[in-house]
Structure 1
Amino acid sequence: MTAEQSKGQSSMMPMVIVAILFFVLGFATWLNGSLMPYLKQMLQLTPLQASLILFSFYIAVTFTALPSAWLIRKLGYKNGMALGMAVMMLAGLLYIPAAQTQSFALFLLAQLVIGTGQTLLQTAVNPYVVKIGPESTAAVRISIMGILNKTAGVAAPMVFTALMASSFASTADTPLTQQQIDTMAAGLVMPYFGLAVFLGLLALAVKFSPLPELAKEASQGAGLTQLKAALAKPSLMLGVLALFVYVAVEVIAGDTIGLFALSLGVERYTVMTSYTMGCMVLGYVLGIILIPRLLSQQKALAISAVLGVILTLAVVFGNNESYAISKVLLVPFGGVALPDTLMFIAFLGLANAIVWPAVWPLALSGLGHLTSIGSALLIMGIAGGAFGPLVWGLFSSTGLGQQGAYVVMLPCYAFILFYAIKGHKLSRWK
C-alpha cells in the first residue's frame, strides 16, 4: 500500500514513527555540540582541529547523498530509513575504541560513519514528510518534525553533560594531567554503547513497522540523465546552495557556542548547544502558528535571513563583559548569567529555525519523477555543516579571534535572503 493510497486512512502511526526518527536524528546530530568542546579539552585540540570533528561528520553527505538516493530507489523509503539507523548503530560502537585509545583519528572515523548513516536516513525521511500531505502545508509538517528534532538538540547536551558530570576534569581551557584525560575518555564508553544499542533496536522497529511506502517513481532515463535534468532546475540547485549556507550557519551557531563559551571560562560549556536549540524550537512553533495563515513560506524565509544578519553583527561587535540579556531572561528564573554575545549566538537558533522547512518545499516544487534525485542533492547541502565551522576555525586563528570569526555568517544569510526573494522563482538558467 502506497502513502497516496492510504491518505483516506489514519496517518497517526506513520507520523509517530517519523517523529521518533526526527528526534533520533536531532539527538545524534546535536551531540556534536557537546562532544566537540569536550574532545577539545580532553585531547588538547586547537579550535581548527576541533572543527574537524564537525567536518568529518558533515562531509559524509558529499560522498553518500547520491548513493543514498540510488539505494532508496532500490530498497524503498522504509528500508532506507532502517538501513540508515543500522549504520548509525555501527558508528556508535566505533566511539568505544576511540575513547579507549584516545585516538583523534578514530573519533573522526566514527564521526564520518555516523554522518553516513544520518545522510541515508535524512534522504529517506525528509521527502517522505513532504509527500504524505498537501504541498502547501509541507513547511508546517516539517516544522512539526523539526520541533522534535531540535527538542532532541536541547536534550542531547543536557543528557551528555549529566552523564559526563563526574568526568569533567576542569571548567577552564587549561592543560590536563593524564589521569584527568583518562577519566574524561572513560566517561564516553557507556553512553555511546547505550546509544548504539538504542539505534540498533530502533532500526529493527522501523524495519517491521506498519510505515506505508511511497509510490515508486517512474524510471525515466538513467541516473546520469536524471542528474542532468535536476541540474537544469535553477530553483532546485539554488535551493541546494541555500541549504548549504544555512546548515553552515546552523552548525556554527549550534556547535561552536560551546567552544566560545569554553574560551570565556563558562562552566558546563557542554550544555550551551541547548540554548541555541531551545531558540530553534521556539522558531519552529512560531512557524507552525504563522505559516501559511499569516506568512507565506517565502516571507518567513526572508525574515529569517534578515534576523540572521542583525544577530551576526550583534555577536561580532557585542561586549563579552555584559550580562544584561541573561539577567533579564535567565537569572530571574533560576538560570545562569551568560555574556550577551553567547545569548546572541543562541538567538540565532530563532533565525535559523524556519529556513530548512521553507527551502525544502520551494526547491522540490514541481520536480515529479526527479523528487528522489532532488532530495539527494538537497541533502548534499548538509555538507555546509562541514565547511562552515572549518572556515570559522580558520578565521578564529587570525586576529579576529573566535568572536570576530562569526562574521563568516554574513554572506550566508545574504544568499538565503536572495533565494527567498528571487532564487526560488527562477525556472531556467539564463
Structure 2
Amino acid sequence: MITTLFFMWGFVHNLDPILIPHLRKSFSLTVLQSALVDSAVFIAYFVMALPAGLLIRKAGYKNAMLAGLALFATGALLFIPAADTQRYVFFLGALFIIACGLTVLETAANPYITLLGRPEHATRRLNLAQSFNGLAATLAPIAGARAILVGGTSDAELQTMSDGARQAVLAAEAASVKGPYLLVALVIMAIALVFYFLKLPATTAAAHNAPASGAILRALRRAPIRRAVIAQFFYVGAQVCVFSFFILYASKAAGISQIKAADYLGWGCGAAFVVGRFAGTWLMKYIAPARLLLAYALASVALSALAMFASGAASLAAVIGIAFFMSIMFPTIFSLGIGNAGADTEMGSSLIVMSIVGGAVLPLMFGAISDITHNLQFGYAAPLLCFLVIAWFARAALREARQPAVITSTGSIETCLN
C-alpha cells in the first residue's frame, strides 16, 4: 500500500510535462511563464515540508498519509473550477494544493519505507519502492497526452481565426483537463479509504519523543543531512528540467509533433527511468550506493552536454540516457542523507523533502537561458550544473563511508570524521 503512494504521486507529477505545453498554448505563455507550473508545485514542498515533519511527530505516519491524501484529492478536484473560470492563476493554485498533499505523503512514505526492514538494505528498499514512481513516469505522459493534447488546434489554424473564435477554441482545450483530474481525485479518495482501515506496522522512528524545539538545527548538524539537502535541491531541479521541458525540447531539437514527443517521453524517458530504478536496485547488491550514484552523475553530466548541441535522434537518445542515469538519484540521496539519523530521522526527512523546492527554481533558470539565447537546447546547462553537484555529494558520501564508525551515547551509529 505504501508503494501505491509512490506510484500515484509519480503519476500526477508526470502529468505536468503535458500541462506545460497545453497551458502554454491556451494562455499564450513564454517558456519562462510556463515554467511557473513547476514553480507552483515545488514551492509547496518548501512551504509544507517542515509542517509535514511536525505532523508525523505528533500524529504518526498513518495520520500524516491520510492528511496528504486528502490535500491531494482536494487539489485535483479544484481543476474543475479552474478550467471553468479560465484563469491561469487558478490552475497554479490547484497544482499548489496537490503538491502540498504530495509533500506530506513524501515526507512520511520515504522514511517509512527505509524503516520497514533491515537498515543495511534501506537504500535498496527505497529504490525498489521508487521504481513504481518510475513506472508512473512511463504511463502518465502516454495517457495524459491522449486525454489532454489529442484533438488540439494547431498554431497555424489558430492564427487564421477571429479573436472570438480563437478564445472559444482555447477555452475548450483548457477544459480538457477536467476529466483526467477528476479521475485522479476519485482514485486518491479510494486509496485514502483503504488507508483509513489499514493497520500499519509501528516503527521505532515513529516512537521518538525528542522535543521539537531545536530539531531543525540538531538535524542540520549531521553532515550527511546537510549535504543531502543541497544535493536533493539540485537533483529535483534537474529532473523537472528534463521531464517538464521534454515535449518542447523534442519538438524543437528533433522536429517531431507534441503527441509523438509525449510518446517518447513515456516509452523513452519514462521506460528508461523505471528500468534504471530496477537495474540500480539490483546493482546495489554488488556496488556501494554512493559509488553507483557518482558514476551515474558523471554520465548525466556528459549526456547533458550532448543534449545542448545534438539534433535529431541523437538529441532524443541523450535525454533518454539522462532519464536512465538519474533514476536512482532521489532515493539514494534521501537514504544516504538520513541513514543512521536516529531521533533526527523525521526532521531530516522534512528538510530533504523541503529541498525539493529546487524543482521550482532550476526550471526558471532553464527557461531564462532558453529565452535569452533563443535556443531551448542551451537550457540543458541548468541540469548539467545540477549533476555536477550530485557528483560532489556522492564523492563526499564515499569518503565518509571509509571513516570508522562509533556508537554514540544515544545508541545510534555515526561516522567519526578526522
Tell me the TM-score normalised to structure 1 length. 0.87
What one-letter code is carried by the residue in structure 1 that aligns with 2:210?
Q
**1:304 has 2:296 as partner:** yes
Equivalent of residue 70 in structure 1, options 37, 50, 54? 54
- Residue 237 of structure 2 is matched in structure 1 by 248
Tell me, yes or no, if structure 1 residue 234 matches structure 2 residue 223: yes
1:218-237 Cα distance to aligned partner (Å, 9 max, x none)? 2223x231111111111111
Is the aligned partner of 1:289 residue 2:282? yes
Q: Encode CA deviations 1:55-74: one digit per residue, 9 max, x unaligned.
A: 10011011110000011111
Matched, 1:398 2:382: no
Deviations 1:173-222 (A, max 9, x none): 9757223212212211122112112111211211211322323332223x
Matches within 5 A, 1:365-380: 365-380=339-354
1:420 maps to 2:394? yes
Pairing of 1:92-111 with structure 2 (within 5 A) = 92-111=76-95
- Identify unmatched segments of 5+ residues in structure 1: 1-16, 324-339
Contact 2:219 2:344 in 1 (8 A): yes
Which moves more between the two structures, 162-171 or 413-422?
162-171
The aligned counterpart of 1:196 is 185
The reply to whether residue 219 of structure 1 matches residue 214 of structure 2 is no
Deviates more, 1:192-201 or 1:241-250: 192-201
Identify which range, 277-286 or 210-219, moves more after superposition. 210-219
8 Å Cα contact 1:69-1:372 kept in structure 2? yes
User: Closer, same or farther in 2 for the Cα pair 1:224/1:174, shift >3 Å?
Assistant: farther
CA contact (8 A) 2:235 2:390 kept: yes
Structure 2 CA distance for partners of 1:165 and 1:257, relative to 1, 3 Å? closer
Query: What RMSD in Å do the two structures reach over aligned CA positions?
Result: 2.0
Tell me the number of residue pairs that the alignment of Structure 1 and Structure 2 aligns.
394
User: Which residues in structure 2 correspond to 1:324-335 (within 5 Å)?
Assistant: none
Match of 1:156 in 2: 140
Q: CA deviation at 1:263?
A: 3.9
Letter in 2 for 1:246: Y
Is 2:195 the partner of 1:206? yes
Aligned match of 1:7? none
3-state SS of paired residue (1:187): helix
Equivalents in 1 of 2:168, 2:119: separation in Å? 56
Matching residue of 1:186: 175
Deviations 1:330-370 (A, max 9, x none): xxxxxxxxxx2133112211110111222122111221011
Greater Cα shift, 210-219 or 411-420: 210-219
Residue 364 (1) aligns with residue 338 (2): yes
Who is 2:248 aligned against?
A: 259
What are the Cα deviations for residues 28-81 of structure 1, in whole angstroms up to 9, with x where unaligned?
A: 111111111111112111000000001100110111100000111111101111
Q: Residue 403 of structure 1 aligns to which amino acid in structure 2?
A: Q
CA distance in 1, matches of 2:91, 2:121: 40
Q: Deviations over 1:353-397 (max 9, x none)?
A: 111222122111221011000000111121111111111011111
**Aligned residue in 2 for 1:127:** 111
2:123 to 139, 143, 147: 139
Helix, strand or coil at the partner of 1:158: helix
Give the counterpart letter for 2:105 in structure 1: L
CA separation of 1:39/1:24 partners in 2, compared to 1, >3 Å: closer, same or farther?
same
User: Is the CA contact (8 Å cut-off) linking 1:308 and 1:348 kept in structure 2?
Assistant: yes
Which residue in the other structure is 1:3 paired with? none
The CA distance in 2 between the partners of 1:156 and 1:428, in whole Å, is 45
Shifted more, 249-258 versus 356-365: the winner is: 356-365
> How far apart in 2 are the matches of 1:428 and 1:224?
26
Q: Does 1:341 align with 2:315?
A: yes
Structure 2: distance between partners of 1:220 and 1:30: 37
Q: CA deviation at 1:308?
A: 0.7
Structure 2 CA distance for partners of 1:93 and 1:79, relative to 1, 3 Å: same
Cα shift at 1:412 = 1.3
The aligned residue for residue 34 of structure 1 is 18
Task: Answer whether contact 1:123 1:375 (CA < 8 A) is retained.
Answer: yes
Structure 2 gap ranges (5+): 401-414
Amino acid at match of 1:69: G
| Mapped partners of 2:172, 2:107: distance in 1 | 38
- What is the match of residue 333 of structure 1? none
- Higher helix proportion: 2
- Contact map agreement 2:64 2:104 (CA 8 A) in 1: yes
How far, CA to CA, are the matches of 1:127 and 1:91 in structure 2?
A: 24
Q: Which residue of 2 aligns with 1:332?
A: none
Q: Take 1:78 and 1:173, find their aligned partners in 2: how far apart are those partners?
A: 51
1:88 equivalent in structure 2 = 72
Summarize the Cα distance change of 1:190–1:289 in structure 2 as closer, same or farther, 3 Å threshold: same
User: 1:11-40 CA deviation, whole Å, 9 max, x = no partner?
Assistant: xxxxxx011111101111111111111111
Distance (Å, rounded) in 2 between the aligned partners of 1:301 and 1:181: 44
CA contact under 8 A between 1:255 and 1:273: conserved in structure 2?
no
Q: 2:290, 2:397 within 8 Å by CA — same for their partners in 1?
A: no
Q: TM-score, normalised by structure 2?
A: 0.89
The question of 1:315 aligning with 2:304 is answered: no
| Structure-2 change in CA distance of 1:246 and 1:217 (3 Å) | same
Contact 2:241–2:366, Cα closer than 8 Å, also in 1: yes
What does the per-residue CA deviation read over 1:114-166, in whole Å, with 9 as the maximum and x for residues that have no partner?
11000000001000111111222222212211221111111111111222355
